[in-house]
Amino acid sequence: MIEVRWHARGGQGGFTAARLLGIAASVFGDNYAQAFPSFGPERRGAPVLGFTRTDNKPITDHSQVYTCDYVVVLDETLMETVEVTKGLKDGGKILINTKLSPDAFKFNGNFHVITIDATKIAMEELGGPITNTAMLGAFAAVNDAIDIDSILKAIDKGMPESLRKKNKKAVEHAYKAIREVK
Amino acid sequence: MAKPQIVKFKFPGSLEEMPLGPSAAAGILTEPNAGWRVQKPVVDHKKCSHCLLCWVLCPEGVIGKENENLEIDMNYCKGCGLCAQECPKDAITMVREGEADDQ
Amino acid sequence: MINKPKSSNLDFLNGDEAVAYGAKLCRPHVIAVYPITPQTIVVERLSEFIANKLMDCEYVYVESEHSAMCAAMGASLVGARAFTATSSQGLAYMHEMLHYVSGSRFPIVMMNANRTLAAPWNIFGDQRDSLAQRDTGWIQVYVENGQEALDMIIQAYAIAENDRVYTPVMVNLDGFVNTHTYELVDVPAQHEVDEFLPPFRSKNAIDFNHPRSFCMTASTEWNTEFRYQQQQAMNHAQEVIEEVDQKFGDKFGRYYGGLVEEVRCEDAEVVLVGMGSVIGTSRIVVDKLRDMSLKVGLVKLRFYRPFPAECFKGLSPRVKAIGIIDRDISFGYEGAAASDIKAALSSSGVGPKVINFIAGIAGRDITKENIEEMYYKLFNLTQGKDEQELQFIGLRW
């Protein structure tokens, strides 16, 4: 099973990303998936979490996600107050939306840090700093289980029509940006 | 007059005869509504002018005006005496229950 | 039970959405609902379906949950298939109407999002709300995931409207953990549901050609016989539930085991019993402990009413210790499920040792570690060690 934790602020689409990843993995992938937000009322700007679980067999676990294989941070300012690597498994990957390079981050643990300026991509493709789909594209580039095609199909299914085209461009833009670095 | 007829209620004789939930056939009267009446109205049709004041005033609506002679439904009349009181022709007399009618 | 592998009607839905789809597929004539977290998404989706003409249904805007149940009852009274949904405070608000509906024998289906009752106020999940309605004469089922939620709405009408039953059904989902968690759900095709669930032809409705009075008084001389009738209907429901489960499985490929699902209980020494989403988490722990050669089992109590006493009587001589997970507590005694289960166990003469675990209150997570700990405590009992009969799991101090 793969567990992904998404860090965002209320209103940035963190849970939408978690849910789209779930759709990509299950409806359009060969897996089962589960997605849920940190439960409770949220206000814009407050730190929120999203979770995605995927597995090649049915997921029956209904407890919270305590350890994860991937952490995705949509808003780096969160890192001032939230310990984003808590529960990230040894050797796990953390994907951060930032202009800085991976060496700038000193985490207490053996993690693989990947950075991407998703805000820049979002501003270009969407005209606003909603980085969730760009980060989805980045995720597609750094994981083995869920490919970009599934994510693009998930956007067609899970987003309103007016938003699909530009969000898919954001996904592809981020995907290529990471793949080129690799 | 379209008042419910008296139909003796048949209580369920077994579990199978119980209705589904507390319901029962409507539109029937299981016993006379007026069994406790003390006095009853008797109409002198020769004096009656068909002004229908009694029909208007009857609180129970038991006076029927369809036919030539006014009819009073004794299943429902409670013997209040309002019709006798108000009849401008004194055509209605209240008689004790059990006593013979004047007619 | 595990979902069958892929079909073409797959969607990624949360529990509330699954319920909305389930209700839509049942073609209700009337929906009367009042929104309350965490059921709101059910209400929103249904109103969208109706507004977009995807459902042909009368949506009644009511000012409270009490009115919602009244409206649903009025609808059922004229022979309409009625649906409603609520949670915690709303369920409590309609309490007297629950009695009215069941006593009048209207086959209404209601989804309940399990959420704790104030005070203290809290929107998160436990089962205190529905378990407190145990005696209202409603059939109660507790689902484990979104697929089961959708499926049980459909089965609920089949059970409720069965000639031998005519008893309303409450379908319970764990608040947030089920209602707001997205999972892969197979949404059956409308024509298949139509074949499984025929249109409602009520035996208990107004008919201008045969006028009846409904919801009447029943005197002291007759009241007991009506209650006996309700009890008989609940007894019949036990068979009907198994029949409907079988028929549903035959048609849609998903069997849930009826009143109860036993997981690896055949040779189990200790067993945990639970209701709802906690079962899903427990399955993982059972497999882990079995891999360590520990003889553990799990009982998914699906229907709380009618209560599957026979199942527990049958289990009683086979296991050494039973742990009952209650996401509730009847203050002054113990968890509701525990009381009923212990009564069934003791009536079989032989009694395994029992621990009642109070867990998952007001949304507190029941972790895999918690469940493992519960199994170890049960093993302590079998080894003659002391364990308290009632234990709060995860208490701070």
Cβ of C204 within 8 Å of Cβ of B23? The answer is yes
Per-residue burial over C273-291, b = 16 or more CB atoms within 10 Å of its CB, e = otherwise: bbbbbbbbbbbbbbeebee
Q: Which residue among A33, A37, A62 places its CB closest to the CB of C280?
A: A62
- What pLDDT digit, counting tens, does each position of C4-17 carry? 455 669 999 999 99
Compute the distance between CA of residue A173 and CA of residue B57 in angstroms, rounded to an integer. Answer: 89
- Pairwise CB contact (< 8 Å): C226 & B15: no
Q: Does A156 touch chain C (CB under 8 A)?
A: no
C346-380: per-residue pLDDT in tens? 887 778 999 999 999 999 999 999 999 999 999 99
Numbered residues of chain C with Cβ closer than 8 Å to any chain A Cβ? 2-3, 10-12, 14, 123-124, 144-145, 174, 176-178, 180-184, 277-281, 283-284, 363, 365-368
Check CB contact under 8 Å for A39 and C11: no
Rg from Cα positions in chain C? 21
Compute the distance between CA of residue A133 and CA of residue A21 in angstroms, rounded to an integer. 10
Locate all alpha helices (DSSP H) within chain A, ordered by sequence: 14-26, 118-126, 132-142, 148-158, 161-181
CA dist A125 → A129, A161, A178, C21, C237 (Å): 10, 16, 16, 35, 58
C304 vs C371: CA distance, rounded Å? 21
The domain of A53 spans 2-181
Which residues neighbour C180 within 8 Å (Cβ) at sequence distance 6 or greater? A36, A37, A39, C14, C15, C16, C38, C41
ipTM reported for the complex, 2 dp? 0.93
Q: How would you write C35-92 as a 3-class SS string?
A: CCCCCHHHHHHHHHHHHCCCCCCEEEECCCHHHHHHHHHHHHHCCCCEEEEEEHHHHH
Chains with ≥3 Cβ pairs under 8 A against A? C
Select from C21, C82, C78 the least CA-distant residue to C55: C21
Q: How many structural domains are present in chain A?
A: 1
Residues in chain C closer than 8 A to A34 (CB atoms): 181-183
**Exposed / middle / buried, residue C346 (Cβ in 10 Å: 0-12, 13-18, 19+):** middle
In the structure, what pLDDT confidence band is assigned to residue C1 with cuts at 50, 70 and 90? Answer: very low
Q: Are C16 and C40 in contact (CB under 8 A)?
A: yes
How do the domains of chain C map onto residue ranges?
A: 10-252, 261-392
Q: Which pLDDT belongs to residue B103?
A: 46
User: Mutate which of C1, C12, C13, C327 to test chain A, going by most A C-beta atoms within 10 A?
Assistant: C12
C204 touches chain B (CB under 8 A): yes
Contact: chain C with chain B (3+ CB pairs below 8 Å)? yes
Q: What's the predicted TM-score (pTM) here?
A: 0.92
Check residue A72 and report its DSSP letter.
Answer: E
B18 touches chain C (CB under 8 A): yes
Residues 6+ apart with CB under 8 A from C65: C34, C36, C86, C89, C90, C91, C93, C94
Predicted confidence at residue A46, as pLDDT, reads 87
Q: pLDDT tens for residues C37-57? A: 999 999 999 999 999 999 999
Strands C139-142 and C303-305: antiparallel
**What one-letter code names the amino acid at C137?**
G
Which CATH class for the C10-252 domain?
alpha beta
In CATH, what number is assigned to the domain containing residue A114?
A: 3.40.920.10
Chains that touch B (3 or more CB pairs under 8 A): C
Closest residue to C105, CB basis, from B12, B15, B21? B21
B34-50 burial code (b ≥16 CB/10 A, e <16): beebebbbbbeeeebee
The yes or no reply on domain C261-392 and CATH 3.50.40.10 is no
Q: List pLDDT tens digits, range C107-161.
A: 999 999 999 999 999 999 999 999 999 999 999 999 999 999 999 999 999 999 9
Evaluate whether C10-252 and C261-392 have a shared fold.
Answer: yes
Percent of chain C clearing pLDDT 90 (strictly above): 95
Interatomic CA distance for residues C129 and C88, integer angstroms = 5
Which of the residues C184, C187, C263, C373 would you substitute to probe the A interface, choosing the one with the greatest number of A C-beta atoms within 10 Å? C184
For residue C104, give the nearest of B22, B25, B27 by CB distance. Answer: B22
